[in-house]
Amino acid sequence: MAEHHDKSHRASASQFFVAAELCRRGFVANVTLGNCPNVDILCTNKAANRFAHIQVKTFTPGSRTCAVGVKAEKDYGESFFWVIAGIPDPNDSSPFAYYVIPSAEMARNIREQHEVWVKTPGKKGRPHDGSTKIRGLVLPPGKNHNGWRVDNYLNRWELITQILNAR
């Protein structure tokens, strides 16, 4: 019970940390508090004429993977981003880590890596269960089953900025 409690607190905190970072960059960011399917943060520029939709997934720095659902295989469009947020424990001095990934990149790579994972035998040669709804995103320094590395998305806030400042 306590582990679930800690996990939900960490997830909520990460959404607020991501929203705070967007606000620090001059945007208006609102955490949806679970009221908007597939979107944790709605973000707009100050003119309110451009929007970004953000889904946040949380991991503890030092983890090898971050779980994302099957919905990560769907491209929600150019204004949708995944922010994979590494939120350290309060007594840990590890830095925060934010991987800002466009929806199209996430969808293509998660779909590909899941297909490779399903085709690759597991422990003792057993087949992987392809019907699972969970998808694992391998975190740096590792690489996903299809060879994709998320290193290039560390602190790539400018990807969201480009969408919000586009004319």
- Going by pLDDT thresholds of 50, 70 and 90, the confidence category of residue 140 is very high
Identify the CA nearest to 137 among candidates 42, 65, 43, 86.
Answer: 65
User: CA-CA distance, 163 to 13, in Å (whole number)?
Assistant: 25
pLDDT value at 2 more than 50 = no
pLDDT value at 150 more than 70 = yes
The model's pLDDT over 25-66, given as tens digits with 9 standing for 90+, comes to 999 999 998 888 889 999 999 999 999 999 999 999 989 999
3-state secondary structure at position 70: helix
The model's pLDDT over 107-125, given as tens digits with 9 standing for 90+, comes to 999 999 999 989 988 888 8
Average pLDDT, the chain: 91
Q: Report the CATH fold assignment for 2-165.
A: Trna Endonuclease; Chain: A, domain 1 (3.40.1350)
3-state secondary structure at position 11: helix
For the chain, the residue count is 167
pLDDT value at 1 more than 60 = no
User: CA-CA distance, 48 to 5, in Å (whole number)?
Assistant: 35
pLDDT value at 6 more than 90 = no
Q: What is the residue type of 58?
A: T
Where exactly are the structural domains of the chain? Answer: 2-165
User: CA-CA distance, 94 to 62, in Å (whole number)?
Assistant: 9
Q: What is the residue type of 143?
A: K
* C-alpha 124 chain-centroid distance: 31
Compute CA distances 28 → 12, 15, 69, whole Å.
Answer: 18, 14, 27
